[in-house]
Amino acid sequence: MSAENEALARRFFEEMCNGRHYELAEEILAPDHRYHDAQSPPTDPGPEGMKQTVSIYAEGLDGRWEVHDIFSAGDQVAVRWTGHGVHKTEMMGLSPTGKEIRVDAITILRATDGKIAENWTVWDTLAMLQQLGAAPVPAAA
């Protein structure tokens, strides 16, 4: 089951997110899918909510998700990835800057019945804000 869940995670990042194939949401996400990310705008549960969240970053930053590691245990898959793009639209209350950003993140997905049922994502929001000039960068020691 772990290999199938890892392939499902890879499809989410490579095909749905990077490929902008939002129609895959109904195929790979459970009807009651839940997304947990305190830094992203709240969305409705289910595939439609996840499509909205992905499109915010895909379109607003011309975002790309670079997967570095995928490993699994039981019904959960951990993915270490880096998001990168160019700040093109208003995001988090910030007017477009045209600046390139790069943030590290970890996502844990829980799969059930061949679909992603839950997504917990933690990403380096402070680094993004620093790169956009909205938060101070610590001085060198």
Number of domains the chain contains: 1
pLDDT digits (tens, 9 = 90+) for 37-80: 988 877 889 999 999 999 988 988 889 999 999 999 999 999 99
Span 112-129, pLDDT tens digits: 999 999 999 999 999 999
The answer to whether residue 141 sits within a structural domain is no
Per-residue model confidence as pLDDT tens digits over 98-111: 999 999 999 999 99
Residue 63 within a domain: yes
The CATH number for 38's domain is 3.10.450.50
pTM for this structure? 0.92
Query: Domain range for residue 114?
Result: 2-131
* Burial class, 41, CB count within 10 angstroms (exposed 0-12 / middle 13-18 / buried 19+): exposed
Contacts for 39 with CB less than 8 Å, ≥ 6 apart: 123, 125
